[in-house]
């Protein structure tokens, strides 16, 4: 179901992700049912909804993180920056360069902080030396981790950071590749309030020149950080619009029930 309530008007930023009639299956199990959504450039969209409703499936389908799951298949149409990520001849490396992702559980590589971040720019852009050092430092600064690690980031293993620092390291690693679109699946769920505030601040800063899709179970967070909100339930996109509308006067009873904490 798609409803026009709060839907974007002609004055809004261009559509960068255009999904039409997307259904996703894991073998017999249908995880997404005919999702259509237009995601606007340089804005934050939060995905909310009860556990198991398909939020992670939606995100992971966009940058083909589900490809290796046996029985995974899709129907419908996806366009990201005008291209079908499932089209013949899709360059996966280019897709991942354009669409970065951060997961719920921080997953640093077992190597130094510096190496964690340097890997991406080296692989995607072939940079090295001073240029690479600068890219690493810039990403650490953007992820608000620089001050905490600047003395030992070339020696310290990424796994020896705290959970909140590891998540910011993973954000820095993703930023260093300079994606235009950023997918975040519950990026703050393992973080304390201070680290959460840092990540929220970062999301707001990135929104100026990135398109962000952020899954969260924290409704206050969704309201704080997002321009748009998409409410999923049982694999359907029930309602999608301006966050003020979704949280203030949604069209659907189920949205109303969810955002007012009556279920989920
Ligand atoms: N690898 C998989 N194989 C089979 N079924 C899966 C797989 N991953 C997810 N599913 C099913 O697809 C549905 C949607 O799952 P998904 O992880 O997208 O939900 P979610 O909204 O992210 O939930 P949560 O809020 O708990 O993270 C669920 O019914 C889930 O059991
Ligand atoms: Mg999930």
Asked whether residue 140 is domain-assigned, the answer is no
pLDDT of residue 3: 44
* DSSP letter for each residue of the chain: ----TT---TTSPPEEEEEEEEEEEETTEEEEEEEEEEEETT-EEEEE-STTSSHHHHHHHHTTTTTTSTTEEEEEEEEETTB-TTSTT--HHHHHHHEEEE-SS----SSBHHHHHHHHHHHHH---HHHHHHHHHHHHHHTT-HHHHTTTTTTSBGGGS-HHHHHHHHHHHHHTT--SEEEEESTTTT--HHHHHHHHHHHHHHTTT-EEEEE-S-HHHHHHH-SEEEEEETTEEEEEEEHHHHHHS-SSHHHHHHHTTS--
> What's the CA-to-centroid distance between 142 and ligand 1, angstroms?
31
Does residue 230 lie within any of the structural domains?
yes
Residue nearest to atom 28 of ligand 1 (CA): 52
> What CATH number did the domain enclosing 196 receive?
3.40.50.300
pLDDT at 192: 86
Which ligand neighbours the alpha carbon of 31 most closely?
Answer: 1
In a domain, 114, yes or no: no
pLDDT at position 263:
67
Distance of CA 112 from the midpoint of ligand 2 (Å): 29
* Closest C-alpha residue for ligand 1 atom 3: 26
Mean pLDDT for each 10-residue chunk of the chain (264 residues)? 46 91 97 97 97 97 95 97 94 95 94 98 96 97 93 98 93 96 94 88 92 97 97 98 96 96 71
Range of the domain at 185: 15-107+179-259
Question: Ligand nearest 237 Cα, by number?
Answer: 1
If one counts the domains in the chain, the total is 1
CA separation for the pair 83, 72 (Å, rounded): 21
For residue 47, give the ligand 1 atom closest to its CA: 21
47, part of any domain? yes
- Contact residues of ligand 1, CB 6 A cut-off: 26, 29, 31, 49, 51-57, 69
174 belongs to a structural domain:
no
Q: Which residues contact 239 (CB under 8 A, 6 or more apart)?
A: 1, 3, 5, 230, 231, 246, 250, 251, 252, 255
Q: Does residue 244 sit within a domain?
A: yes
| Torsional class of 187: left (φ above 0), alpha (ψ -120 to 50), beta (otherwise) | alpha
Q: Is residue 117 part of a domain?
A: no
- Centroid of ligand 1 to alpha carbon of 29 (angstroms): 10
Ligand 2 center to 204 CA (angstroms): 22
Which protein residue has the closest C-alpha to ligand 1 atom 22?
56
Which residue's alpha carbon is at the smallest distance from atom 14 of ligand 1?
54
Residue 3 lies in a domain: no
């Amino acid at each position: 179901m798609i409803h026009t309530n709060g839907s974007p008007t002609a004055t809004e930023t261009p559509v960068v992700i255009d999904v039409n009639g997307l259904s996703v299956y894991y073998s017999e199990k249908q995880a997404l049912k005919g999702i259509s959504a237009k995601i606007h450039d340089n804005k934050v969209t939060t995905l909310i909804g009860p556990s198991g409703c398909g939020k992670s499936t939606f995100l992971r389908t966009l940058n083909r993180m589900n490809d290796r799951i046996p029985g995974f298949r899709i129907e419908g149409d996806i366009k990201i920056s005008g291209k079908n990520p499932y089209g013949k001849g899709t360059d996966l490396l280019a897709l991942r360069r354009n669409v970065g992702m951060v997961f719920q559980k921080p997953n640093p590589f077992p190597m130094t902080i510096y190496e964690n971040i340097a890997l991406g720019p080296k692989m995607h852009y072939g940079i090295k030396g001073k240029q690479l050092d600068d890219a690493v430092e810039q990403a650490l600064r953007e992820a608000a981790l620089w001050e905490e690690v600047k003395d030992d980031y070339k020696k310290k293993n990424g796994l020896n950071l705290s959970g909140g620092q590891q998540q910011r390291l993973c954000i820095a690693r993703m930023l260093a590749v300079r994606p235009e679109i950023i997918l975040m699946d519950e990026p703050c769920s393992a973080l304390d309030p201070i680290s959460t505030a840092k990540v929220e601040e970062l999301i707001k800063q990135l929104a100026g020149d990135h398109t962000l899709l952020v899954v969260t179970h924290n409704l206050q967070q969704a309201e704080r950080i997002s321009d748009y909100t998409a409410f999923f339930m049982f694999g359907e996109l029930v309602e999608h619009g301006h966050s003020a509308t979704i949280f203030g006067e949604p069209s659907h009873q189920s949205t109303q029930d969810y955002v007012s904490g009556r279920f989920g």
